[in-house]
Amino acid sequence: DTESCDSWTYFMRCLSQMFEQEGCNKDDWTFISDRIKGVDLAVRDTFPRATRRVCCQHLYMNCKNNGFSGSAFFKLFWIAANAHNEYVYGKALEKITAHDPNAAAYLDTCQEQWSRHMFDPAVCCDHNTTNFVESFNACTKPYRDMPVFSLLEAIRKWCMERVGARFDMAIDMEDGQLTEYAKKEVDERT
């Protein structure tokens, strides 16, 4: 039950077999996770053409745990992580180096892709965090001790209720009206 190279290899092989059983022979997946030991080797062995990304939220927390923090580092880290081109990434890394050379050296040790400018444009996903998975896991936590079919039914019901509630909220909105979240985002960017 531990996360080791062997357990990750077993998981990846089971995943690959499941894909094959469903008729999916694709092998150029993109995997996003924290920097767990064993994941890289397991992915390379099972899906040699796969892209490996490291979750920027986890990478930032690792930086913080290693003493690289503060509001300046936080801001520069996320500029580098979300940079869509090498120029912006390079400028952010220059500033990180000037701010704390050890932090820049630590980020250099990260072999996985973590900045958006490094992402393969053929992969139609620009996520650089696992926040959506973490959020889903948190929401489904109360159901984990259920038998498999009960678990799946509880998750299905939760998803339907969530989609239904959002639909009801959207149907009551005026034309051009924004959600609170969207309004906040627009206000921050203007």
Q: What is the pLDDT of residues 146-158, one digit of tens each?
A: 998 999 999 999 9
Single pTM value for the model: 0.72
Specify whether 64 is located in the same domain as 109: yes
**pLDDT-based confidence at residue 187 (cuts at 50, 70, 90):** confident
Specify whether 36 is located in the same domain as 50: yes
Specify whether 117 is located in the same domain as 140: no
Specify whether 71 is located in the same domain as 122: yes
Specify whether 136 is located in the same domain as 125: no
CB 58 within 8 A of CB 34: yes
Specify whether 25 is located in the same domain as 89: no
Q: What is the pLDDT of residues 10-59, one digit of tens each?
A: 999 999 999 888 888 777 788 888 877 788 889 889 998 888 888 999 99
Specify whether 43 is located in the same domain as 60: no
Query: In the chain, how many domains are there?
Result: 3
Specify whether 62 is located in the same domain as 123: yes
Specify whether 64 is located in the same domain as 123: yes
Rounded Cα–Cα distance for residues 128 and 52 (Å): 11
* Of residues 106, 25, 35, the one with CA closest to residue 69: 106
Last-in-domain residue among 110, 129, 148? 129
Classify the phi-psi angles of 138: left when phi > 0, otherwise alpha if psi is within -120 to 50, otherwise beta: alpha
CB 38 within 8 A of CB 8: yes
Q: State which residues form the domain around 166.
A: 131-189
Residue 27 confidence (pLDDT): 74
Specify whether 64 is located in the same domain as 9: no
SS3 of residue 71 by DSSP: helix
Q: What is the pLDDT of residues 80-118, one digit of tens each?
A: 999 999 999 999 999 999 999 999 999 988 866 889 998
Specify whether 113 is located in the same domain as 140: no
Specify whether 62 is located in the same domain as 108: yes
